[in-house]
Amino acid sequence: MKKELLAGFVLIVSAVVFLMVGMPTAADVADVITIENKGYDQDRRGPVNLTHKKHAEDYQVACNECHHEYENGENVWKEGDPVKKCIECHDPIEKKGNVEKLQLAFHNNCQGCHKGLKDREAPFRKCTDCHERKS
């Protein structure tokens, strides 16, 4: 009886550990994510270094403010769901249906949030506030 109970306990603990190791969390994401300007006809600006950890932890930006999966006009993405690269849905060259072009999607989301934070001096007016200078 004790052996069966111990074996069951070990099996449950192993399953929980296995599931937890496979689940990505905000802690698994790099502190800074570089958003490259790939796929555009013309790359006029340098990349943007998004301080992911700062936005998530210090600024308390909810994950679904940036990450999304729309069904019937509603964002159904929730923390723990797979994170797609933006370019998987947002084409850099043309708008497809209701899906904005990549640059417009970034600008609307980032600038839209930053404009509401004028008191925190969040950059949004000059391109070089976010974009690195091209080398």
Nearest to 25, CA basis, from 88, 86, 81, 85:
81
Cα-based angle 77, 81, 83 (whole degrees, multiple of 5) = 90
Question: In the chain, how long is the greatest CA-to-CA distance?
Answer: 71
Tokens of 133: 């200078």
Tell me the pTM.
0.67
63-75 per-position pLDDT tens digit:
999 999 999 989 9
Residue 7: strand, helix, or coil: helix
Structural domain boundaries of the chain? 26-129
38-62 per-position pLDDT tens digit:
777 777 788 898 999 988 888 888 9
**CATH number of 26-129: 3.40.50.150, 3.30.360.10, 3.90.10.10, 3.30.1360.200?**
3.90.10.10
Which residues of the chain have a pLDDT value below 50?
A: 13, 15-26
- The pLDDT assigned to 26 comes to 47
